[in-house]
């Protein structure tokens, strides 16, 4: 769908996170962790993805200030998506990273149910995000860089949606 910029910015972010983790232990408090990651990505990632992830993580940190139970993580995901929509201008179905994140958020709402278990819910969320990323292959781009390209040339899934799903998969694998 483009020039490889999405892959380069995500690789830059991954290297920055690795360096950060080697230099110091991450904050233990979830809100502080997300805020620190937001600052790091805003500074080091670059591109519109860095800004959007920064906005997402900053907003996602707010519900985690007072509590970090499972429902709070569902609230954090919803808050992050709302910020991305507000400031980024995309909506689900626009063929962007938001498609993957929105699908994951819908699955993560199960965390608000009594007796919810994190890993099974997160696994379902990751599968939903991956399916949503693949579904972008057939979408008309309504936002983002792909919206400047003829839909006849958009033969692959949206790179941002694939990358967002990959980030969620990495979180799941890290927790397992």
pLDDT > 90? residue 2: no
Q: CA 89 → CA 45, 64, 84, 150, distances in Å?
A: 20, 25, 7, 20
* pLDDT band at residue 152 using 50, 70 and 90 as cut-offs: very low
Cα radius of gyration rounded to whole Å, the chain? 16
Question: What are the tokens at 73?
Answer: 């993580």
Q: Please tell me the CATH code under which domain 5-175 is placed.
A: 1.25.40.340
SS3 content of the chain, % helix, strand, coil (to 5): 75, 0, 25
Q: What mean pLDDT comes out for the span 89-98?
A: 86
Question: Which one is predicted more confidently, 132 or 142?
Answer: 132
Confidence of residue 93 (pLDDT cuts 50, 70, 90): confident
**pLDDT tops 60 at residue 53:** yes
pTM greater than 0.85 (yes/no): yes
Q: Residue 148 has what pLDDT?
A: 45
The predicted model gives 131-154 an average pLDDT of 65
pLDDT value for 157: 83
The tens digit of pLDDT for each residue in 3-49 reads 568 888 999 999 999 999 999 999 999 999 999 999 999 999 988 88
- pLDDT of the residue at 121: 98
pLDDT at 37: 97
**pLDDT reported for residue 1:** 44
Write b or e for each residue in 69-90: b if 16 or more Cβ atoms lie within 10 A of its Cβ, otherwise e.
Answer: ebbbbbbbbbbbbebbbeebeb
**Each residue's pLDDT tens digit, 55-73:** 999 999 999 999 999 999 9
């Amino acid at each position: 769908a483009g020039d490889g910029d999405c892959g380069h910015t995500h690789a830059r972010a991954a290297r920055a996170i690795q360096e950060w983790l080697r230099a110091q232990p991450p904050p233990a408090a979830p809100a502080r962790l997300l805020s620190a990651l937001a600052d790091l990505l805003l500074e080091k990632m670059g591109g519109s993805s860095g800004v959007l992830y920064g906005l997402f993580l900053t907003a996602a940190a707010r519900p985690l200030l007072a509590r970090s139970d499972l429902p709070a993580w569902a609230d954090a995901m919803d808050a992050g998506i709302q910020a991305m929509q507000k400031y980024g201008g995309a909506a689900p179905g626009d063929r962007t990273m938001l498609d993957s994140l929105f699908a994951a958020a819908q699955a993560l709402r199960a965390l608000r149910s009594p007796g919810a278990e994190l890993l099974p819910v997160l696994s379902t969320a990751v599968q939903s995000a991956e399916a949503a990323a693949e579904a972008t292959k057939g979408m008309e781009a309504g936002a983002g860089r792909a919206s400047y390209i003829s839909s006849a040339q958009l033969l692959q899934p949206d790179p941002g949606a694939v990358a967002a799903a990959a980030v969620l998969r990495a979180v799941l694998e890290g927790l397992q």
